[in-house]
């Protein structure tokens, strides 16, 4: 089977664009990725589009209506916060299967402000605040508190993750925010759901990201100059665990996908030079250091305390600023983190460049549950 390469990839600067449409926001990133690849929409043989908010509204086709209706097959994907990664993976699969040589993957989302999850619906009376909380800050707080229970992880350690990611974002012009956010500011921000303060929750933003994937044959034909090899693509759903249906288990799902990705790539966590992982909440990032094998179980707190996950550390995590400061447009996130890793592998990340990066990992997890992991390699 052919290796698959990312030939072009880009994202728009995340922000709030209430006056634009979802397809319009998606079209911008699609054109940027095409330009980055040096190709046009006429070269694309298929398109996979990830969007959650308008999952029933043919967003992919509407993007083509803005940038070129060539009649290619379009598949629209929705997979919670793994939506963008799923669209990318479907594009990868279609090339891996030998069906196409050049495929466009786009992720786009337009978000409102405010709390996600737990809004209720269903029969009878609203359940939020009656049977605990289904809001995302609470669900991920409960997952983090499980880590506190097992390993003594503190509020301050969780907060340090947010300090780190906000610091990283000061070097990323495409991040929603570029603001240094010291520990006392993070810890004294409004408490949303203990231990997650407002600054430990991802930012709801509008955004889009897109990638042009090509077969090895096509990459050689067009020149491998800035191409990045997709070394592994893994997607897992939540395997049965005892509490999963009451307390979504983001750990088991991530561990399953990570194991598959490492096996496919033939590498281990010690080989990875940078990671963009799903820091939807500061508590979530802590869990994934261990879930992705970046450290042993119980050592995640040490990873943040000792600076191993900062830019310049052993394995920098979320040098883009992460979802906490770059922002989290659900359907775009999975391709935006691929953009970030590719940018480092190409040596084009400027001030936040992870020096000598050869292998990078991206990770997203959507509750329900879907985990998408990609391992990317410098050519």
Partner 1 sequence: MSDKSLPAVSYLKIPDEGNPYLEGHKCENCGAVFLGERSVCSKCFSRDKMSAVKLQETGVLHSFSVVYRSFPGIDVPYVSAIVDLDGGGTVKGNLINIEPDPEKIDFGMKVKLTYQDALGRKDKEGNSYLSYFFEPA
* Catalytic residue list: 81, 328
Which of 305, 312, 298 is closest to 161 using CA atoms?
Answer: 305
Q: Which of 18, 121, 124, 356 binds partner 1 (CB under 8 A)?
A: 124
Q: Does 246 bind partner 1 (CB under 8 A)?
A: yes
Give the H or E element holding residue 373.
strand 370-378
Q: Copy the structure tokens of residue 378.
A: 């410098």
Q: What's the CA gap between 294 and 299, in Å, rounded?
A: 9
Place of tokens 């820091």: 279
Minimum CB distance to partner 1 smaller for 132 or for 307:
132
**Within 10 Å of residue 16's Cβ, how many Cβ atoms?**
17
Q: Which of 247, 264, 267, 379 binds partner 1 (CB under 8 A)?
A: 247
Q: What's the CA gap between 67 and 41, in Å, rounded?
A: 7
Kindly indicate which of the ranges 75-83, 142-150, 250-258, 303-311 contains the residues binding partner 1, using the contact rule CB under 8 A: 142-150
Minimum CB distance to partner 1 smaller for 19 or for 242:
242
Q: What's the CA gap between 164 and 260, in Å, rounded?
A: 29
Q: CB-based contacts of 66: which residues, under 8 Å, 6+ apart? A: 23, 24, 27
Nearest distance from C-beta of residue 244 to partner 1, angstroms: 9
Kindly indicate which of the ranges 48-56, 116-124, 171-179, 229-237 contains the residues binding partner 1, using the contact rule CB under 8 A: 116-124
Judged by DSSP in three states, 106 sits in strand
Minimum CB distance to partner 1 smaller for 123 or for 270:
123
Looking at the chain, the number of H-run helices and the number of E-run strands are 12, 11
**Within 10 Å of residue 316's Cβ, how many Cβ atoms?**
24
Integer-rounded Cα Rg, in Å, for the chain is: 19
Q: What's the CA gap between 136 and 134, in Å, rounded?
A: 6
According to DSSP, the residues that pair with 375 across neighbouring strands are 232, 361
Q: Which of 58, 145, 222, 267 binds partner 1 (CB under 8 A)?
A: 145
Q: Does 126 bind partner 1 (CB under 8 A)?
A: yes
Q: Does 133 bind partner 1 (CB under 8 A)?
A: yes
Query: Do 358 and 345 touch, CB atoms closer than 8 A?
Result: yes
Kindly indicate which of the ranges 8-16, 72-80, 121-129, 313-321 contains the residues binding partner 1, using the contact rule CB under 8 A: 121-129
Q: Does 125 bind partner 1 (CB under 8 A)?
A: yes
Kindly indicate which of the ranges 60-68, 105-113, 128-136, 358-366 contains the residues binding partner 1, using the contact rule CB under 8 A: 128-136
- Nearest 5 degrees, angle CA 212-CA 344-CA 12? 55
Kindly indicate which of the ranges 74-82, 133-141, 344-352, 364-372 contains the residues binding partner 1, using the contact rule CB under 8 A: 133-141
Nearest distance from C-beta of residue 288 to partner 1, angstroms: 17
Q: How far from the centroid of its chain's Cα atoms is residue 150's Cα?
A: 27
Question: Site residues for partner 1, window 6-25 (CB under 8 A)?
Answer: none
- Nearest 5 degrees, angle CA 327-CA 333-CA 337? 100
Minimum CB distance to partner 1 smaller for 66 or for 142:
142
Q: Does 113 bind partner 1 (CB under 8 A)?
A: no
Question: Site residues for partner 1, window 205-234 (CB under 8 A)?
Answer: none
Q: Does 121 bind partner 1 (CB under 8 A)?
A: no
Nearest distance from C-beta of residue 369 to partner 1, angstroms: 13
Q: What's the CA gap between 262 and 266, in Å, rounded?
A: 6
Query: Do 11 and 209 touch, CB atoms closer than 8 A?
Result: yes
Nearest distance from C-beta of residue 139 to partner 1, angstroms: 8
Nearest distance from C-beta of residue 55 to partner 1, angstroms: 23
Q: Does 151 bind partner 1 (CB under 8 A)?
A: no
Place of tokens 């069906």: 99
Question: Site residues for partner 1, window 171-210 (CB under 8 A)?
Answer: 190-196
Nearest distance from C-beta of residue 297 to partner 1, angstroms: 17
Nearest distance from C-beta of residue 127 to partner 1, angstroms: 7
Query: Do 6 and 37 touch, CB atoms closer than 8 A?
Result: no
Nearest distance from C-beta of residue 330 to partner 1, angstroms: 19
* Footprint on this chain of partner 1 (rule: CB under 8 A): 115, 118-119, 124-133, 135, 137-138, 141-143, 145-146, 148-149, 155, 190-196, 240, 242-243, 245-247
């Amino acid at each position: 089977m052919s290796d698959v390469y990312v030939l072009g990839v880009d994202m728009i600067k995340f922000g709030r664009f209430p006056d634009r449409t979802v397809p319009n926001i998606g079209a911008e990133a699609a054109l940027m990725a095409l330009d980055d690849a040096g190709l046009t929409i006429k070269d694309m043989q298929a398109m996979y589009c990830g969007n959650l908010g308008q999952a029933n509204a043919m967003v992919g086709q509407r993007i083509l209506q803005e940038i070129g209706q060539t009649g290619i097959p379009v598949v629209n994907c929705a997979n919670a916060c793994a939506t963008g990664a799923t669209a990318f993976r479907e594009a990868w699969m279609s090339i891996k299967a030998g069906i196409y040589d050049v495929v466009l993957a786009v992720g786009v989302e337009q978000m409102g402000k405010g709390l996600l999850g737990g809004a209720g619906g269903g029969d009878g009376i609203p359940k939020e605040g009656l049977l605990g909380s289904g809001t995302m800050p609470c669900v991920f707080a409960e997952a983090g508190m499980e880590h506190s229970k097992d390993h003594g992880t503190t509020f301050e350690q969780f907060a340090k993750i947010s300090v780190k990611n906000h610091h990283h974002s000061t070097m990323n012009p495409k991040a929603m925010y570029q603001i240094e956010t010291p520990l006392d500011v993070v810890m004294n921000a409004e408490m949303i759901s203990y231990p997650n303060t407002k600054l430990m929750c991802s930012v709801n933003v509008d955004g889009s990201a897109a990638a042009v994937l090509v077969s090895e044959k096509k990459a050689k034909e067009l020149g491998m100059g800035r191409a990045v090899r997709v070394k592994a693509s893994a997607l897992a759903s939540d395997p049965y665990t005892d509490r999963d249906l009451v307390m979504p288990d983001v750990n088991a799902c991530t561990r399953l996908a990570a194991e598959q990705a490492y096996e496919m790539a033939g590498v281990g966590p010690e080989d990875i030079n940078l990671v963009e992982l799903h820091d939807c909440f500061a508590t979530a990032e802590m869990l994934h250091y261990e879930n992705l094998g970046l450290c042993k179980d119980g050592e995640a707190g040490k990873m943040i305390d000792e600076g191993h996950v900062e830019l310049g550390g052993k394995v920098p995590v979320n040098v883009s600023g992460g979802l906490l400061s770059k922002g989290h447009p659900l359907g775009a996130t999975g391709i935006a983190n691929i953009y970030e890793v590719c940018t480092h592998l190409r040596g084009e990340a400027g001030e936040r460049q992870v020096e000598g990066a050869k292998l990078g990992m991206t990770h997203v997890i959507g509750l329900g549950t879907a985990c998408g992991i990609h391992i990317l390699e410098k050519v």
